[in-house]
Structure 1
Amino acid sequence: MISHGTFTWNELYTDNPKKACDFYGSLLGWQFEEMPGPDGVYRIAKVGDRPVAGIFEMKGEHFRGVPPHWLAYIDVDDIDKRVAAAKKAGAQMIREPFDVEGVGRLAIFKDAVGALIAWMTPVPRG
């Protein structure tokens, strides 16, 4: 179910996912489930059976100089329509809309004040 306009996910971008998992695991009790992805292993942080965040390893030249950071995701009803409107309102695209199988269609951009944000239209859940 899409909760248009609400924050839905948080993701840590880091060049040291093991250290991040050790930190959050020991301090918050998070457990981690690893998933293979197109850019390497993606880690889902869980509290019990409930997913609470993701950990993405920053690899490659396009991450040179990018500090570790948390990225928040907001659900939107129609990513392509909403991104087009965001561009007209001054958004600067980091990643144009793209699909993640089993997750949804998302985009990453800087908003009108320069803050990094991700918007996502999730796949329908059964």
Structure 2
Amino acid sequence: MSKDHGKIWWCELMTRDIPGVVGFYESVCGWKIDRMEMPEGEYYVCLIDDEPVAGIMDTSAMPNLDGAPSVWFTYLAVDDLDEALREVLAAGGVIQRQPFEIPLIGRIALVSDPGGAAVGLIAPEQLTE
């Protein structure tokens, strides 16, 4: 098992209020926030000293999220995503979104635990051995 297995790997804010939250986190956290285009819409990478620390996803173009509150979403690192998904099911969780690949980032699935809390699982491109 790698040193990264089970660690919080990434957090992203899902929101419709991009101007409000960008200004807020630039002021409160001192983040530099860069915009980038993604297939699903705009994405913002939050940086400290040019190192990515979090992301912000613009959900305004996602009709299935109309009326959804802004929320921070967490991704946990796993060594083997397929094995982790078997463990999710065995432990009473639910797979909410089947695995998908983000080039240069890793393979991701969205799951929920037995209490209903959602979390992302990611097999990152690069793990610490």
Match of 1:81, as an amino acid? E
CA displacement at 1:104 relative to structure 2: 0.4
* 1:89 and 2:91 are equivalent in the alignment: yes
For residues 72-111 of structure 1, what are the structure 2 equivalents within 5 Å?
A: 72-111=74-113
Once superposed, what is the RMSD of the aligned Cα atoms?
A: 1.6
CA displacement at 1:83 relative to structure 2: 1.1
**Aligned twin of 2:46:** 45
CA displacement at 1:64 relative to structure 2: 2.4
State the distance in 1 between where 2:4 and 2:113 align: 20
**Aligned twin of 1:19:** 20
State the distance in 2 between where 1:16 and 1:93 align: 28
Give unpaired runs (5+ residues) of structure 1.
none
CA displacement at 1:2 relative to structure 2: 6.4
Percent identity between the two aligned chains: 33
Q: How many residues align?
A: 125
TM-score by length of 2: 0.88
TM-score by length of 1: 0.90
Runs of 4+ displaced beyond 3 Å: none
SS at 2:68 equivalent: coil
